[in-house]
Amino acid sequence: DKYIINGEKMFISGINEAVNQLPEGGGYLTLVKTDTSKGTHGMSLFYIPIKNKRGISPTILEDWGRKGISSGGFSLEDVSVSQDYLLGEEKRGFYIAMEGFDYARAIISIVCCGAAMSALEYAMKHIKSRKAFGQPIGRFEGVQFKLSEHWAKLDALRLLGYKALWAYGKEQNEKAFSRFEVTKLCAESKLLAPVFAFEAINDAIQWFGAYGYTVECPLELALKGVRSYYWAEGALEIMKIIVSRELLGKDYVAYR
């Protein structure tokens, strides 16, 4: 009626909050190999409380981007977990987790679009008022063309993110889409949005000149923050593999 778990879970969000700030402590959904002979088909999903839990050693990492939440992980050494903490059926954990990843990836795309929009709107106020050679720098085509390109991409990627979330809801509530269609849409949005946001914010910083390179410029945090989404909920390279898998079929996947 219990499991003994050994392993490690790293590069997760909110570890300091879970250990030190929540009165009752927090916990994490954790994939555990309950049958090591079956790969992903042998993974089960557990909720593991981590505060004052014997055998758990938390690690807090200092990253150089996000400031609103901590990063880190924890190791598990002979941690005893009751069967009550098993979510769903044994050996079905991977599939449950992947549904959560789909939703999170689409949310990340919208977050990136929001960060890019805020940065561009903030920069537009600047390029309308900052003058060079006797006129606002917003009149120069070198600035206008970049702005228009970024805004067009922003509108397109917002629609892709909304479509992914809409399809996710339709699949969950009405089975109107297949799980594979939803997975592909969510991966597409996650693949494109972080790179776009980083490039848009980077160009917005450029328009501020040397001021853009100071910590007084709020876009510094935005640039560092969206860079974390190159990895969060699956690296960009994984998104490419997912999209290709859904386009070509599982026979063209290099891994098994």
pLDDT in tens, 165-214: 999 999 999 999 999 999 999 999 999 999 999 999 999 999 999 999 99
| Same domain assignment for residues 229 and 129 | yes
Of 42, 72, 87, the one marking the end of a domain is 87
Q: What is the CA radius of gyration of the chain?
A: 22
108: tokens are 């990340």
Q: What is the CATH number of the domain that holds 128?
A: 1.20.140.10
CA–CA gap between residue 143 and residue 124 (Å, rounded): 10
**What is the residue-wise DSSP string for 198-254?**
HHHHHHHHHHTGGGGGSTTSTHHHHHHHHHGGGTTTS-HHHHHHHHHHHHH-GGG-S
- Of the pLDDT bands very low, low, confident and very high (cuts 50, 70, 90), residue 51 is confident
- The continuous run of DSSP H or E covering 126 comes out as helix 93-129
- Of the pLDDT bands very low, low, confident and very high (cuts 50, 70, 90), residue 138 is very high
- Say which amino acid occupies 189: S
- Of the pLDDT bands very low, low, confident and very high (cuts 50, 70, 90), residue 67 is confident
pLDDT of residue 240: 97
CA–CA gap between residue 13 and residue 30 (Å, rounded): 13
Q: What is the CATH number of the domain that holds 11?
A: 2.40.110.10
| Same domain assignment for residues 41 and 106 | no
| Same domain assignment for residues 155 and 71 | no
Of 60, 87, 114, the one marking the end of a domain is 87
| Same domain assignment for residues 130 and 190 | yes
What does the buried/exposed string (b/e) look like for 152-176 if buried means 16 or more CB atoms within 10 Å of the residue's CB?
ebbeebbebbeebbebbeebeeeee
Contact 48, 30 (CB under 8 A): yes
| Same domain assignment for residues 69 and 123 | no
Question: Is the pLDDT score of 256 beyond 70?
Answer: no
128: Cβ contacts below 8 Å, ≥ 6 apart: 136, 138
| Same domain assignment for residues 107 and 132 | yes
Maximal CA-CA distance, the chain: 77
| Same domain assignment for residues 18 and 127 | no
User: What is the number of structural domains in the chain?
Assistant: 2
CA–CA gap between residue 227 and residue 98 (Å, rounded): 22
Give whole-number Cα distances, 134 to 98, 129, 185, in Å. 56, 11, 47
Half-sphere exposure of 171 (CA within 13 A, CB side): 19
Of 87, 106, 123, the one marking the end of a domain is 87
**Sign of CA pseudo-dihedral 21, 25, 29, 32:** positive
| Same domain assignment for residues 112 and 69 | no
Instruction: Show the domain range for 164.
Output: 93-252
